[in-house]
Amino acid sequence: MEHDLTEKRAHLVGSRFELAIGRMMDAWLVAGRISVTAGDVKLAREFLEQTGSKVEDAPAARVRVVEDDGRTEEMTREAAVMTALRRLATRR
């Protein structure tokens, strides 16, 4: 079956997180668990901030995500990356 790649416009990428999440997920599948690097967390943090959240460092290698309506949640770094992934999935 032929597929005309010029038929649809390419999805515009708005963040580095969007480019990196596929690589992250592939690594999780190979490892059999979710493991994030400091760089992964930085990309997720940038994405969350671009989408309206404030992200703060918290004790014990955790982060605090403050939503624009004031709701606050303290979470692990892995949970912050998953939160960014969920938010990315709902934007499309």
Which residue do the tokens 């979470």 mark? 75
Domain ranges across the chain: 36-91
Scanning the chain, the segments in alpha helix (DSSP H) are 16-31, 38-50, 77-91
pLDDT digits (tens, 9 = 90+) for 14-37: 799 999 999 999 999 999 999 999
Beta bridge partners of 58: 62
Query: pLDDT-based confidence at 13, cuts 50/70/90?
Result: confident
Helix (H, G, I), strand (E, B) or coil at 33: coil
Predicted local distance difference test score (pLDDT) of residue 11: 66
* Phi (first) and psi of residue 22, to 5 degrees: -60, -45
**Average pLDDT over every residue of 49-73:** 95
